[in-house]
A = this chain, B = another copy of it.
Amino acid sequence: MYSTELLKGTLKTILLKLLANQGKMYGYEITQQVKLLTADKIQLTEGALYPTLHKLEADGLVTSEKVSIGKRVRKYYLLTPKGKTATTDKVNEFFDFVKTLQLLLDPDLSR
């Protein structure tokens, strides 16, 4: 587990990219996928996840559809066209940022 201050600023990017890869996902599924894919190193908390999903929806990057499973309701999220563009932009920006940070944090690698 990381000192989660690192997660700040990358949560939206993670969510968008997962949706881009998987088509559609619901909140709980996202937490499990992230836990699995990162070998427990990143564990999303509900208090961060759900408000962020709502924000993405409010910003028009995702839409949601409710699906009843028995008496329970799952809320699936999927990317809008605007969301697809945003995903590419944000992922690129992240890797660019990392490259830039390497100039500061690891001068040997950037020679």
Contacts and interface: CB of A to CB of B under 8 A. Distances in A.
Contact of A107 (B8, B21, B105): B21
The secondary-structure label for the interface of chain A is helix
Interface residues of A, number: 32
Question: How many copies of the chain does the oligomer comprise?
Answer: 2
9 contacts: A5-B8, A6-B9, A6-B10, A17-B104, A37-B104, A42-B100, A42-B104, A91-B105, A98-B98
A13 interface: yes
Given A38-B100, A41-B100, A100-B41, A105 B13 contact: yes
Nearest to A16: B105
Given A37-B104, A94-B105, 8 more contacts: A2-B96, A6-B97, A13-B105, A17-B104, A38-B103, A41-B100, A42-B100, A95-B106
